[in-house]
A and B are shown apart, each in its own frame.
Chain A
Amino acid sequence: GAGVSQSPRYKVAKRGQDVALRCDPISGHVSLFWYQQALGQGPEFLTYFQNEAQLDKSGLPSDRFFAERPEGSVSTLKIQRTQQEDSAVYLCASSLAREQPQHFGDGTRLSIL
Chain B
Amino acid sequence: TQLLEQSPQFLSIQEGENLTVYCNSSSVFSSLQWYRQEPGEGPVLLVTVVTGGEVKKLKRLTFQFGDARKDSSLHITAAQPGDTGLYLCAGVAGNQFYFGTGTSLTVIP
| A→B interface (CB under 8 Å) | 4, 33, 35, 40-45, 56, 91, 93, 98-99, 101-107
Contact = CB atoms under 8 A, between A and B. Distances in A.
B50 to A, nearest CB: 11
Contact of A42 (B33, B44, B102): B102
A104 B42 CA distance: 5
B31 A99 contact: yes
Interface of B: 2, 4, 6, 9-10, 30-31, 33, 35, 40-45, 48, 86, 88, 90, 92, 95-102, 104
Main secondary structure of the interface of A (DSSP, over half): loop
Q: Which 4 residue pairs spanning A and B have beta carbons closest together?
A: A104-B42, A42-B102, A42-B99, A99-B92
B44 A104 contact: yes
B97 A99 contact: yes
B88 A42 contact: yes
B102 A41 contact: yes
B45 A101 contact: yes
Nearest to A92: B42
Given A33-B97, A40-B86, A42-B101, A91 B42 contact: yes
B97 A45 contact: yes
B1 to A, nearest CB: 11
A101 B92 CA distance: 10
A35 B88 CA distance: 14
Contacts of B31: 99
B59 to A, nearest CB: 19
B9 to A, nearest CB: 8
Contacts of B41: 106-107
Q: Which of A40, A42, A98 has the most CB of B within 10 A?
A: A42
Contacts of B86: 40
B96 A98 contact: yes
